[in-house]
Structure 1
Amino acid sequence: MKPRHDGQCALDPNEAGMSFTAIPGFGEFCSILSALAWAVGVMLYRQLGANLPPLQLNFLKNSLVMLMLLPAIPLAHGWAYADFSGLQIATAMASGAIGIGLADTLYFRALNELGAGRMGVLGNFYSPMVIVLSFFFLGESLTPMQVGGFVLVSAGVWLAAWPRSGEPRPAHAMRGLMYALLAVGLMAGAIVLVKRVLEAQPLMWVTGWRMLGALLMMVAIALLRRETALLKPSPGLPWGKLALAAFAGQFIAMVLWLAGYKFTTASVAAILNETASVFILLLAWAWLKEPLSRRAVAGVGLTLSGVCCMLWLP
């Protein structure tokens, strides 16, 4: 415990982190819940995307998330300012600029080029990239059981997301592939970049600095591309649905996502995040009434088996 400015005591965020770390599977649980929250957001974003350009949608939802973070930070950590170094702030903002501002822009561009099915498959390269980067820069490794879980999760998501035969070939497949791989690589690099800051500093503060970096990056992209509509939303926007999507699919999902990386290894968190594709598949069937094929059901089974392996405690 440490004193607050008002004379009362507040729990030291790092002490809180240590207590959460002592809970077996807490980080893994956050990673799975993050995947579910993101899947709910995707259902809402799919509806909103019919009327909003990708960059504008991304900027508006992240602006709403920033407004949500302003009261959430003192509620979670008290009014005392977290003792960040200049390097830690720069690292967190750079992670947000790269992993949210730039990578999401490239991701949406690739989505337009390739379609959702192929992007679902290419998104599977996220966890292998995190694992490789974590091995080289964080010194992490996986147990044999977790390696088996990684294989099952990847196989299940691949099986569920692979485009059906007979679908038309994208006109700019190679360009879309380059955008997609670059986006996924930047997302993986961004989370590995901020991993040590997450371990050392309060979660919500790191989230806020990342979001600030992301917003500044998106404004810079809009200015370079002369997309003035980004800063001047058109009238008639469905603000209620947008706020709900931002809260569920970005605010809750992102906090749980970062919590997963804070309280478990980056490699394990990245693999468990892959379950988002399965949640999206199931919600699309139940919510949007999209057909659920036998191949998709088999993919769900493989992925859930992999999750069980990842959560297995020796």
Structure 2
Amino acid sequence: MSLGLGELFSLLSALAWAVGVILYRQLGATLPPLQLNFLKNGLVLLMLLPAIPLLHGLAIPRFSAAHIALALASGAIGIGIADTLYFRALNALGAGRMGVLGNFYSPFVIVLGYLFLDERLTALQLWGFVLVSVGVFVAAWPKASPGGRPPQVLRGLGLALLSIALMAVAIVMVKRVLEAQPLLWVTGLRMVGALGGMVLVAALTRQIALLHPPTAGLPWRRLALAAFVGQFLAMILWLAGYKYTQASVAAILNETASVFILLLAAFWLKEPLTRRGITGVALTLSGVAFMLVH
């Protein structure tokens, strides 16, 4: 096994994201997905403003117009749109199932990395990709009932897959920018793109009112904790993983979040820990192990 800096960051990101998913699941009980996404991204941007000069100094890096456009578009697609769809799916499917379904993110990145980044995987790593994909379907696909599969669950699965595909497109889009530019500056540009994208979507769908925080009853402490751990910290570690290792390898390692989410959902949210879920996670972790073999 090989555990370099990029691999370590990817694993730590998975842990932080798992904690965030549990907190977002609780927040989703009272906040609409678009509103929750906008508020947490606004908090993350506020966290980034002092973090950027602390880590990178006061000098402004030289971004090309193409790099700025790619970072903004990546944020709008991968955070503004994808996260909103993710929260909708999270409300429909629950944290445990959604956590395992998120493992399908890596196959999307592998295909896109092959097509656009000229990344290649070994035979063992490709076998790991197959195990991850099988594990996702074992754990996340709903059982058929006498009346058929519940429409709400099937709709949730569709939203989840779309959100995960958009996240994969967004990270592959910004991969070369991450390699060339300071990490937190790229993160900040992505967040600006995310907020701008959500304002545009809200305006086009006449939901601008949702972007305002509710006048009363907003759990600010939980929202701030979710934004810091599940977005600010997880996203920085996530992007750092992509900066220091192959996109396809980082994507696979991020899938260890499914284990943390499944366990936290069982003990924190009291969601059932099923045999299918455990089997799916076991297959996923086997795939991760193959991905670490060079």
Q: TM-score, normalised by structure 2?
A: 0.89
What do the CA deviations read for 1:42-77 (whole angstroms, capped 9, x no partner)? 111111111100000000001000000011111111
| 1:208 and 2:188 aligned | yes
| 1:163 and 2:142 aligned | yes
User: Cα–Cα, structure 1 residues 45 and 87, in superposed 2: closer, same or farther, change >3 Å?
Assistant: same
User: Cα–Cα, structure 1 residues 290 and 114, in superposed 2: closer, same or farther, change >3 Å?
Assistant: closer
Kindly report which structure 2 residues correspond to 1:91-130, keeping only aligned pairs within 5 A, or say none.
91-111=70-90, 123-130=102-109
Aligned partner of 1:240 in structure 2 is 221
Query: Contact (CA 8 Å) 2:44, 2:228: kept in 1 or not?
Result: yes
Pairing partner for 1:136 from 99, 115, 120? 115
Identity %: 71
Kindly report which structure 2 residues correspond to 1:195-274, keeping only aligned pairs within 5 A, or say none.
195-234=175-214, 235-274=216-255
Kindly report which structure 2 residues correspond to 1:1-314, keeping only aligned pairs within 5 A, or say none.
24-111=3-90, 123-164=102-143, 166=145, 169-171=149-151, 179-234=159-214, 235-312=216-293, 314=294
Query: Contact (CA 8 Å) 1:113, 1:171: kept in 2 or not?
Result: no
User: Cα–Cα, structure 1 residues 141 and 28, in superposed 2: closer, same or farther, change >3 Å?
Assistant: same
- Shift of residue 272 of structure 1? 1.6
What do the CA deviations read for 1:64-101 (whole angstroms, capped 9, x no partner)? 00000011111111111112112111110110011111
User: Cα–Cα, structure 1 residues 248 and 215, in superposed 2: closer, same or farther, change >3 Å?
Assistant: same
What do the CA deviations read for 1:112-154 (whole angstroms, capped 9, x no partner)? 6666676556544322121111111110011122222222333
* 3-state secondary structure, aligned to 1:226: coil
Distance 2:98 2:56 in 1: 37
List gaps (5 residues or longer) in structure 2: none
- Shift of residue 250 of structure 1? 0.5
Query: Contact (CA 8 Å) 2:45, 2:188: kept in 1 or not?
Result: yes
Structure 1 stretch displaced more, 67-76 or 166-175: 166-175
What do the CA deviations read for 1:159-195 (whole angstroms, capped 9, x no partner)? 3333345497333677656544433322111111100
Letter in 2 for 1:271: I
Letter in 2 for 1:95: S
CA RMSD of aligned residues (A): 2.5
Pick the structure with greater CA Rg.
1
Aligned partner of 1:5 in structure 2 is none
- Shift of residue 257 of structure 1? 0.9
Distance 1:195 1:137 in 2: 10
List gaps (5 residues or longer) in structure 1: 1-22
Higher relative contact order (CA 8 A, sep 6+): 2
Distance 2:282 2:101 in 1: 20
- Shift of residue 41 of structure 1? 0.6
User: Cα–Cα, structure 1 residues 55 and 285, in superposed 2: closer, same or farther, change >3 Å?
Assistant: same
Letter in 1 for 2:30: N
User: Cα–Cα, structure 1 residues 154 and 181, in superposed 2: closer, same or farther, change >3 Å?
Assistant: closer
* 3-state secondary structure, aligned to 2:151: coil
Query: Contact (CA 8 Å) 1:35, 1:274: kept in 2 or not?
Result: yes
Q: TM-score, normalised by structure 1?
A: 0.84
Query: Contact (CA 8 Å) 2:99, 2:257: kept in 1 or not?
Result: no
Letter in 2 for 1:229: A
Distance 1:184 1:102 in 2: 11
Q: How many residues align?
A: 291
Aligned partner of 1:15 in structure 2 is none
- Shift of residue 278 of structure 1? 2.1
Query: Contact (CA 8 Å) 2:142, 2:153: kept in 1 or not?
Result: no
Query: Contact (CA 8 Å) 2:48, 2:188: kept in 1 or not?
Result: yes
